[in-house]
A and B are shown apart, each in its own frame.
Chain A
């Protein structure tokens, strides 16, 4: 693969998965409709290439699938569990927290658990309150659970490859509404888990992850091109946990103004975590109080889902207020 390759977000995920399976015969996939028929498209062709034993169609048993991944890890295997969509993580919550995330800790490192949980966010798929949730904040206070939320093809590719190098599980929150967004994969980052500066700027920083980071980039470009231009830095977290504290603090110090955008209500998630991180800065380090733009405390409706989610316009407006 060359650094100049341009792929869609979905192709990037598929390529990272395929390459991980080719590199290590002890990587296998569990999911529903992932083998003979790939319902999400990401696993298409993998059963033909690697055999049905490594791309396994399962019953509707997500909790068991995660538990099996933890058990397989005890014997040196890395399991990729594909959920049909992110909301389903709720029925596997206990297995994710107790069986997978705690394994390396509880056994004092005797047993590792490099499990990859592909949990796609069904944004704008019209699946209503039970099929479009983000779920990231549900998992924020689980130590030893990595959380990745890629905003671009490059992030998706490099973060998925990175997940296979870990000794703890990764919750990989890919956003299906970004599936056709394309971009260059670029060279291998020195530290794929670090936040990425999608756009340089000195007037304010917008910090976000996943689709919100992609939207923030649009908002920043719009402001830069407007009649009243300003230069916004956009920091895409990519990896939400472990949180890249250094890059966030650096950007905050450099710009003096921070807007955080998250697609979930404000009672958890990276938003409040970053706000409390910014509290560590000395008085006067920031020109303005950091601002969190979040969804109100409501579920996501079947119709007009976009009305309750932060939009590019809302990000622009919030950034303008911060700059004023």
Chain B
């Protein structure tokens, strides 16, 4: 079955839509919290918020615990979806000596290997081969697990990515390439850096099955990853082209111009993944506006508590 499935808007079997909402809220509130910390100079590190891309995290919920994820530096939602906590992340952002990376590595590269969360890298093209290497060992182990390599669409320009995808295709590794296709490489729109917006034309020749994904629809993201995982385990490496949009800036320190794209921003604001899910839960999930507000308040509280805990640990020393 290689025909790409179409976008799906139905509830995946066994999925809890309210958990999708919680994950997305946690992600957005965390990103906003970090941006505030940075603005107030409460932390050293720069942040790379995934505002607007939160639904992509739901992909992690379609994975098995033994599956590995190689996140991009903007994959906060997926990292949370795979089980890392806000408190762990704050520890890394502070650079606490007793955090997992011991203050050696920036928080958006942090690894939590026990959870299947591998590190990220600044060498965004060069990191695809590491994910491929991990997938090779899964194949050698006959582990029944997959490796998910998450990249932004800007990585299409990097030669190392293509070296890796070629090998993955030839060796039919249990590998899923998940593209956070937000159409921008820092300030450059996709059309300035490649000929086609879609990713499929670039990777199909390497032997990948591909699927376009509504990256702002948690249901479609979940369905897509469940499909991709099954394909990859059946010897067909898969690519998910997750169309989405970065509503915030590239990072807390670049300050690239965002003028002239007001129409785009307005159009994508209407496709906000969290608003969509809240609306769906109200219409189809039987949740009241009050319940939705309570959920948001709970997530907000837990982020603030996570920061306090992480801070306290450092202050105690």
- In the complex the two chains form, what is the Cα distance from A226 to B84 in whole Å? 71
Contact in complex: A69, B133 (CB < 8 Å): yes
Number of B interface residues at 8 Å Cβ cutoff, please give it.
38
Which residue of chain B has its CB nearest to the CB of A108?
B102
**Contact indicator A68/B119 (Cβ below 8 Å):** no
Smallest beta-carbon distance B120→chain A, Å: 10
- Of the candidates B104, B122, B132, the one whose C-beta lies within 8 Å of that of A64 is B132
A71 near B113 with CB under 8 A, answer no
Residues of A within 8 A of B164 (CB): 61, 64, 67-68
Q: Is the CB of A70 within 8 A of B133?
A: yes
* Beta-carbon contact of A66 and B129 below 8 Å: yes
Whether the Cβ atoms of A71 and B163 lie closer than 8 Å is: no
Write the nearest CB–CB distance from B92 to chain A, whole angstroms.
10
B interface footprint on A64-89 (CB within 8 Å = 1, 0 otherwise) = 11111111111111010000000000
* Chain A residues whose C-beta falls within 8 Å of the C-beta of B105 in the assembled complex: 106-108
Give the dominant DSSP class at B's interface: helix
CB distance B123 to A106 under 8 Å?
A: no
- A65, A66, A75, A76: most-surrounded residue (chain B CB, <10 A): A75
Knowing A67-B126, A67-B133, A99-B126, the reply to whether A61 touches B167 (Cβ < 8 A) is yes
- Indicate if the CB atoms of B104 and A67 lie closer than 8 Å: no
- Asked if B130 and A99 sit within 8 Å, CB to CB, the answer is yes
Q: For B136, list chain A residues within 8 Å (CB).
A: 68, 71-72
22 contacts between A and B (CB under 8 A): A53-B140, A61-B129, A61-B163, A61-B164, A61-B167, A63-B126, A64-B132, A67-B127, A67-B129, A67-B130, A67-B164, A68-B132, A68-B136, A70-B133, A71-B135, A74-B130, A94-B126, A106-B105, A107-B101, A107-B119, A108-B104, A111-B119
Interface residues of B (CB under 8 A from A): 68, 70, 100-102, 104-105, 109, 111, 113, 118-119, 121-123, 126-138, 140-141, 159-160, 163-164, 166-167, 170-171
Measured CB to CB, the residues of A under 8 A from B are 26, 28, 53-54, 56, 58-59, 61, 63-77, 79, 94-95, 98-99, 103, 105-108, 110-111
